[in-house]
Structure 1
Amino acid sequence: MIENRKYYIQIIFILVGIIFLTKLFFIQVLDSRYKLAAENNVINKVVEYPYRGLIYDRNMNIMVHNTPVYDIMVVPKEVQVEDTTKFISLFDITEEDFTERIQKAKRYSYIKQSLFYPQLSNEEFAKIQDELVSYQGFYPIARTVRKYPEPVLANGLGYIGEISKRQLTKDTLNYYQSGDFIGISGVEASYEEELRGKRGVKYKLVNVRGIEKGSFNDGAFDTLSVPGNNLVSSIDLPLQKYAEYLMQDKVGSIVAIEPSTGEILAMVSSPSYNPNDLTGRKYSSNFGRLNQDTLKPLFNRPIQAQYRPGSVFKLVQSLIALQEGVVQPSTRIVCNRGIINCHGAHTKEDLHGAIKFSCNPYFYQTFKRIIQQGKEDNMNKDARIGLNLWDDYLHKFGFGRRLGIDIPNEGKGMIPAPTYYDRYYGKDHWNFYTIYSLSIGEGELLTTPLQVANLASILANRGYFIRPHLVKGIDTPDSYLKLDFEKEEVGVNPEHFTTVVDAMAEIVEGTARVARVDGIEICGKTGTVQNKDSYDHSAFMCFAPKETPKIALSVYVENAGWGGGVAAAISGLLVEKYVKGEVSPNRAWVENYVMSKAYLNNL
């Protein structure tokens, strides 16, 4: 028994020896990581950051490119700084700042590289390059930051910034490292995977002073960086620049869409900011300043602001009523101002005239016919059926939901459902007379400027829209990938659009004639958006030309009064700029009216 135990112990020792020998073979021969770690005192791992993809406008004008900078990285274990005063003078930082940066690096890792000082320009790096090699543990890494040759579309393009701890935690593929930059908003965020490329790495032999002596092992462990793919946006850069010019010193938004494709030609959020302010070392201070601005330049109004649609919504009511058969183009309704107030000199219009004169009583009665179709004897229950029907139509038109634009943080707006009124009045304790303000685009209705521009596209296309988007294609080294976006029908027969579109054309020839352009038939609708806190907002929606439309747009100018004023004027100028390529000198007075804010004289 004792003799057998001796053999068991010998077998155990032999097995342990085999395990250790196997592990040692794995470490020394098969796994290069340990070899590299052991030689870390003479090998510098240099991360090669890829060039982020460029962004072009629809005519291949560069909107976003890269400019080189240098990050100074630190490995705390290797740091040797005998003369701290001299070292901190290189970076113009305090001794307390130096200590704090080193401590932050140690908290991240004692043996791994982390960011010590970000984004030195070429000129700044050249001044310290010769001195830096004297300090062990500090390594420069070349990378790039974004540059905007034309400081436009800041809210749409978005910006990049250092990745957060939360984003690192969510990175299940472990692509990113602390100190990496990532798209934070706009196109930069939505197309991050296309734009970022793939980082590479090189192992360099260095002497004790940190001076490179060549590649380690002839580059056997090196990997090349792969540049990101370029994006071709749908933006028309000249139109975008002109639209931003017209919105100077105003609060509001512009969205212009090509109806046949859903491509966004221009998107303005005003006030905005210079996108170059959110690049480079001054990113943090500039972001803080912009974030505290009471006019909210970081707020992307075209997709996030929510307004009552006002009279623009009468076009939707008309189409739903025609599809449901509760009115015909020839249907005449008395303008009974005892029911609801109205404006203009008209008495008993057909549908064409009601749209042209924006007759409130007409659309009061039209909405009543949509909501109360006699499908239920109980008036309250009948209103529930009608409102559900109306909500379904509005959802198809793109209201009360996200359209799916290819940038983040799109708002849904607000379309009240029966459950909404149930919460306030109790189930079956409300009816048409509770909600009639919806008939003229007021009450609880809220829409985004993008949704209203999309409505203009629906009207231009006579019944459908293509999902609005800012990027039309991806340019890879091997090919060009054109992006396809879905077509959505709104459930209204094309023939019903004729009356509505004809009336819109007459509006531009009449009450909104400031939008009129010789040689281009524009179809539009004014909107005066009620605002209890100050003056009403000026809104206008249109498309042009009437046949084979090229552009559809919405314009909102806050606290600017009637929609037939500045919003219509801006719309006409943008249509002319895009369709004709320039604004006629004969219409310089319209541009002056917009830029001088002469429209405020009528408030």
Structure 2
Amino acid sequence: MEVRRWHIIIGFTILFVTYALVLLNIQVFSKNYKMRAEANIVERVVEYPLRGMIYDRNGKLLASNAAVFDVMIVPKVFKVLPQDSLELAGMLDYTIEELRYNIKKAKYYSWYKPSVFKKQLTESEYAKIQDKIIRYKGLSIQARTIRSYPHKSLANALGYVKEVTRDFLKKDSANYYQSGDLIGKSGIEKFYEKELRGQRGVSYIMKNVKGVTKGKFEDGKLDTIPQVGATLTSSIDLDLQAYGELLMKDKKGAIVAIDPSTGEILAMISAPSYDPNELTGEGKRLSKRYGDLSRDTNKPLFNRAMQSRYPPGSTFKTVMAMIGLQTGAVDTLTTYFSCNKRLVGCHNHDSPLNLKGSIINSCNPWYYQEIRRMLNDEGKRYETSDLLRKTLDDWKIDVQDYGLGRKLGVDMPYEKGGLVPSSKLYDRIYKGGGWKISTIHSISIGQGEVLAMPIQLANLGAIIANRGYYYSPHIIKSIGGKGPLEQYKEKHKVDIKPEYVDHIARAMADVPRIGTARRAYSPDIVICGKTGTAQNPHGEDHSIFMGFAPLYNPKIAIAVYVENAGFGGTWAAPIASLMMEKYVNGIVKRPYLEKYVNSVNLIQREKERKEKERLLKERREKAKERLKAQQLLRQKRDSIAVTTSSES
């Protein structure tokens, strides 16, 4: 018994000492327990940085920030009496069902971590509830900012920001974004997201059990200061941008204007567009606005300047002329071709023509005959040859040198590359062969398989204005005062002699004076350009103009597309002319031309044309049905007559 008693005493002693050591370690030596205890009274507050501002080239604000307030909830602390639920729901503009759903959603996220209970109250909405919200334990207010756009211009280029989705958060390998964060979804906001977003800050605040703030945790040693996003200075001239949007009112299409000496984009218009403020904020209102815009048949969210692939039409003849000169297929003095309309259709003008005359009069047969020379085919071959494949592929490389058929590397998302056909493409189309010059000749006048974006044609205008070189088009000229990205400082030279380009430029100077763009003529500046009319299987032809001004020391290169508008000289040319005059001279002295451009609603006109086509088609179908019914009736009568005659 004595031995057993000592065993029990020793056992209890060891157990006591063990517990004492564990408790000593937890309460004195271990920091883990201390941190857990402090976590009950320390609140981690994320401080969102201001998103970087965006200005135009003249210092006018394009994108700024507006204050909003999120109502945060901690489910573990939150308590609301049944009689107070209706009042709280009314304060937050919720139904009782929505209130319960959001409480459940917060609990699902975390019982202990704060989450957003009501998103983005405006200053006026917050002012109405700030004295009442403090009565509810577990609810707090977190201030943040959303995007605001002081002007209604440049929506497609600026883009918009939106809250990150769960799917995005799963793919965020850097683990930077958190639920509720905003991210650029299109335009400048997306491309320069890293520069604009800044860096979040965090502060730790001590609170007592009643939620009263007692001060900074450890005197703010663990706090980090939010870093404001970089300020971006765009190359956009807001006055020119707004003027272009006015000229494109009630029209579909695009305008891109570039400073040839730098590649800076002066204006980027996609029409029709929308007010950029329509896509600010979050929640049901944003979802409805976005849904309405995305369902609009005119596609206002679609950036036609960067993403619409149109046939370049006769503007492409300038490329054909320059390649022809550089390769020696044609020259400026002795090469004359007749306007042989048996080869391809054309309008009436003098014939034969030299190269300059072909540009001024936009002669289609001239370029049909030129491409036969360029591809070493005089129309005698009826099957595809290896020589034809090689010369076509060489031609494609020459065309791509002018920035066509590939991406230019613009500092905007979702840029498309256009299309310049190759022998492989035609082999696929014609199943290995059987194509020849007469099959593909439409590429010589910018039709067929040749496709380009408006920004590519504006860059083509810059190449001619510079007599053979360009800088990649870009819309941001300075990031935080340090200039553009490095790739936009690099000069790209085209493989052509400057004197050849100058010959084309001087020919383009005569197009508004005596050629196909006489509505674009200005007595104050020398406007150089080339019209184009792109065939459109879905409606009236597209009106196109590409050019620059003035002839020497040019300040602006431009491309204009007006959908379903007819000839290039009818609508695109005068619009481009007004834009160039506005930028070069700072004032427009041709109000009659402005009145003409704004005199018609081309969207409504196209809608009416399609309605007439629909009604005409419907009448034809009904006429066919009546004719068919009459034929059946005659057959039935004839059958009865035959039967009666037989019986007789």
- For the criterion TM > 0.5, the same-fold answer is yes
Helix, strand or coil for the counterpart of 2:76? helix
Q: Which residue of 1 aligns with 2:634?
A: none
Cα displacement (A) at 1:95 = 1.4
Kept in 1, the 8 Å contact 2:27–2:34? The answer is: no
Residue 334 of structure 2 is aligned to residue 336 of structure 1? no
Number of residue pairs the alignment of both structures matches: 580
C-alpha separation in 1, matches of 2:175 and 2:36: 21
C-alpha separation in 1, matches of 2:35 and 2:134: 22
| Deviation digits for residues 241-276 of structure 1 (CA, Å, limit 9, x no counterpart) | 111111111111100000110000000011111011
The code of the aligned residue for 2:347 comes to H
Helix, strand or coil for the counterpart of 1:497? helix
The code of the aligned residue for 1:79 comes to F
C-alpha separation in 1, matches of 2:109 and 2:513: 67
C-alpha separation in 2, matches of 1:552 and 1:26: 75
Residue 591 of structure 2 is aligned to residue 588 of structure 1? yes
| Deviation digits for residues 541-574 of structure 1 (CA, Å, limit 9, x no counterpart) | 1101110111000011111111101111111111
Helix, strand or coil for the counterpart of 2:203? strand
C-alpha separation in 1, matches of 2:329 and 2:483: 46
| Deviation digits for residues 183-236 of structure 1 (CA, Å, limit 9, x no counterpart) | 111111111111111111122233455443432332232221111110010101
Residue 449 of structure 2 is aligned to residue 447 of structure 1? no
The code of the aligned residue for 2:131 comes to D
C-alpha separation in 1, matches of 2:250 and 2:502: 38
Residue 542 of structure 2 is aligned to residue 537 of structure 1? yes
Pair 222,26 (structure 1): closer, same or farther in 2 beyond 3 Å:
farther
The code of the aligned residue for 2:596 comes to Y
Helix, strand or coil for the counterpart of 1:312? helix
Q: 2:469 aligned to 464, 470, 478, which one?
A: 464
Pair 35,255 (structure 1): closer, same or farther in 2 beyond 3 Å:
farther
Q: Which residue of 2 aligns with 1:396?
A: 401
Kept in 1, the 8 Å contact 2:199–2:227? The answer is: yes
Cα displacement (A) at 1:110 = 3.1
Equivalent runs, 1:85-484 vs 2, <5 Å: 85-281=86-282, 282-330=285-333, 331-372=335-376, 380-475=385-480, 480-484=482-486
Cα displacement (A) at 1:102 = 2.4
Kept in 1, the 8 Å contact 2:344–2:365? The answer is: yes
C-alpha separation in 2, matches of 1:443 and 1:487: 31
| Deviation digits for residues 18-45 of structure 1 (CA, Å, limit 9, x no counterpart) | x98999599943x6xx645533443322
Q: Which residue of 2 aligns with 1:65?
A: 64
C-alpha separation in 1, matches of 2:174 and 2:27: 29
Pair 513,86 (structure 1): closer, same or farther in 2 beyond 3 Å:
same
C-alpha separation in 2, matches of 1:298 and 1:78: 44
Cα displacement (A) at 1:136 = 2.1
Q: Which residue of 1 aligns with 2:511?
A: 507
| Deviation digits for residues 73-111 of structure 1 (CA, Å, limit 9, x no counterpart) | 222232212221121111111111112222333333333
C-alpha separation in 2, matches of 1:524 and 1:26: 83
The code of the aligned residue for 1:547 comes to Y
Pair 481,351 (structure 1): closer, same or farther in 2 beyond 3 Å:
closer
Kept in 1, the 8 Å contact 2:206–2:213? The answer is: yes
Q: Which residue of 2 aligns with 1:496?
A: 500
C-alpha separation in 2, matches of 1:577 and 1:283: 36
The code of the aligned residue for 2:357 comes to G
Pair 474,35 (structure 1): closer, same or farther in 2 beyond 3 Å:
farther
Pair 71,36 (structure 1): closer, same or farther in 2 beyond 3 Å:
farther
Q: Which residue of 2 aligns with 1:528?
A: 533
Which deviates more from structure 2 when the two are superposed, residues 109-118 or residues 81-90? Answer: 109-118
Kept in 2, the 8 Å contact 1:147–1:276? The answer is: yes
C-alpha separation in 1, matches of 2:453 and 2:478: 26
Percent same amino acid among aligned pairs? 47
Kept in 2, the 8 Å contact 1:380–1:430? The answer is: no
C-alpha separation in 2, matches of 1:231 and 1:58: 10
Q: Tell me, which stretches of 5 or more residues in structure 2 are unaligned? A: 1-14, 610-648
C-alpha separation in 1, matches of 2:352 and 2:418: 34
Pair 138,514 (structure 1): closer, same or farther in 2 beyond 3 Å:
same
Pair 428,90 (structure 1): closer, same or farther in 2 beyond 3 Å:
same
Helix, strand or coil for the counterpart of 1:141? strand
The code of the aligned residue for 1:370 comes to M
C-alpha separation in 2, matches of 1:37 and 1:595: 70
The code of the aligned residue for 1:125 comes to Y
The code of the aligned residue for 1:363 comes to Y
C-alpha separation in 1, matches of 2:563 and 2:24: 74
Cα displacement (A) at 1:598 = 8.5
Which deviates more from structure 2 when the two are superposed, residues 133-142 or residues 407-416? Answer: 133-142
Q: Which residue of 2 aligns with 1:10?
A: none
Kept in 1, the 8 Å contact 2:532–2:545? The answer is: yes
Q: Which residue of 2 aligns with 1:51?
A: 50
Kept in 2, the 8 Å contact 1:566–1:599? The answer is: no
Helix, strand or coil for the counterpart of 1:46? strand
Which deviates more from structure 2 when the two are superposed, residues 265-274 or residues 505-514? Answer: 505-514
C-alpha separation in 1, matches of 2:227 and 2:200: 6
Kept in 1, the 8 Å contact 2:315–2:546? The answer is: yes
| Deviation digits for residues 371-412 of structure 1 (CA, Å, limit 9, x no counterpart) | 2269x9985212101110111012211111111110100111
Pair 108,391 (structure 1): closer, same or farther in 2 beyond 3 Å:
farther
Kept in 1, the 8 Å contact 2:77–2:137? The answer is: yes
Pair 126,41 (structure 1): closer, same or farther in 2 beyond 3 Å:
farther
Pair 78,339 (structure 1): closer, same or farther in 2 beyond 3 Å:
same
Helix, strand or coil for the counterpart of 1:290? helix
C-alpha separation in 2, matches of 1:179 and 1:381: 60
C-alpha separation in 2, matches of 1:241 and 1:558: 20
Q: Tell me, which stretches of 5 or more residues in structure 1 are unaligned? A: 1-12
Residue 554 of structure 2 is aligned to residue 549 of structure 1? yes
Kept in 2, the 8 Å contact 1:133–1:210? The answer is: no
Kept in 2, the 8 Å contact 1:135–1:209? The answer is: no
TM-score between the two structures when normalised by the length of structure 1: 0.91
Q: 1:579 aligned to 576, 581, 584, which one?
A: 584
Kept in 2, the 8 Å contact 1:317–1:439? The answer is: yes
Pair 121,28 (structure 1): closer, same or farther in 2 beyond 3 Å:
farther
Pair 41,134 (structure 1): closer, same or farther in 2 beyond 3 Å:
farther
| Deviation digits for residues 521-556 of structure 1 (CA, Å, limit 9, x no counterpart) | 111011111112211111111101110111000011
C-alpha separation in 2, matches of 1:526 and 1:552: 14
C-alpha separation in 2, matches of 1:307 and 1:22: 78
Pair 473,115 (structure 1): closer, same or farther in 2 beyond 3 Å:
same
Helix, strand or coil for the counterpart of 1:435? helix
Kept in 2, the 8 Å contact 1:381–1:428? The answer is: no
C-alpha separation in 2, matches of 1:226 and 1:339: 66
Name the larger-Rg structure.
2
